[in-house]
Amino acid sequence: MKSFGLYEKSGLFSDTKWCNPALTGICLIVGEVYLFHESDPCCPAGSSLWGVFDKRLDGSIYLESSTYDLIRFRKWHVLPRVYRYCRLSTRSELRDYISDLLRCEACFIR
């Protein structure tokens, strides 16, 4: 799985994705689940922050939701700058994230 650094100075921003041309066209796409890591470029699932990319504004990356453990989810916040690496989730990681997020939200409805 290819990962990339987040805070490069040559990034571009549009309504739907944040691209860094210096990193061969890798883009953060709105609504996609990414794994973020402070120090490991591989962004292993067990020690990464999982989050849904929302937007990039004023040099900050905003997430719709995120989790460290697929149990507790945080909504609508800025990604802390300590996270230096990122990769797109695999299909199975995406499935796990969405199903656990829905399960978590269902608990609050009851």
pLDDT of 17-58, one tens digit each?
555 443 334 578 999 999 999 999 999 999 999 999 999 888
Higher pLDDT, 4 or 21: 4
Q: What is the pTM of this model?
A: 0.78
Whose CA is closest to 32, among 52, 4, 3, 61?
Answer: 52
pLDDT at 6: 65
Q: Which residue in 52, 56, 78 sits closest to 64, CA to CA? A: 52
The pLDDT tens digits for 93-109 are: 999 999 999 998 877 65
The residues pairing with 50 across neighbouring beta strands, listed in sequence order, are 35, 67
Pull the structure tokens for residue 103.
Answer: 């399960």
What's the pLDDT at 1?
Answer: 54
